[in-house]
Amino acid sequence: GSATDFDEDEWFTTLKKAYEMEQLVMDHGKIMDHYDPDKRIGMIIDEWGTWYDPEPGTNPGFLYQQNTLRDALVCALHFHIFHRHCQRIHMANIAQTVNVLQAMVLTKDEKMIL
């Protein structure tokens, strides 16, 4: 759906899907615990974050996406999961930083929003 035009059901669906990260981490952790019970090898979560339909009027290939409070809560939920499993998760990288997907910085010409 849309990054900025969503209803209550989409709000809860997004958070529910974000929470699925917990099960993914636990399932992979169990497998890793079988082969590495001393937790010498860390898990890396790469390119996590939200990804919605392209913004109207933008190039779909550039994946421009405005954040909302919903995305901030997804981020907080993921951080909570990553910290709760820090014995196994050694690194986690948000998908993008500037102008793409769940970006923390958006720019357009001389304008910038954090």
pLDDT tens digit sequence for 11-58: 999 999 999 999 999 999 999 999 999 999 999 999 999 999 988 888
The pair of structure tokens assigned to 74 is 């997804």
Q: Is the pLDDT of residue 102 over 90?
A: no
Mean pLDDT value across residues 73-97: 94
Q: Whole-angstrom Cα distance, residue 54 to residue 96?
A: 15
The C-alpha angle with vertex 109 and arms to 108 and 112, in degrees rounded to 5, equals 50
User: What number of other Cβ atoms are within 10 A of residue 45's Cβ?
Assistant: 19
**pLDDT at res. 12:** 96
Mean pLDDT value across residues 96-106: 86
Q: In this predicted model, which residue has the larger pLDDT, 59 or 69?
A: 69
Among residues 22, 26, 14, the alpha carbon closest in space to that of 79 is found at 22
At 108, the pLDDT band (50, 70, 90 cuts) reads confident
Mean pLDDT value across residues 76-100: 93
Which percentage of the chain shows pLDDT scores above 90? 71
User: What number of other Cβ atoms are within 10 A of residue 2's Cβ?
Assistant: 15
**pLDDT at res. 24:** 97
Mean pLDDT value across residues 84-89: 97
**pLDDT at res. 65:** 86
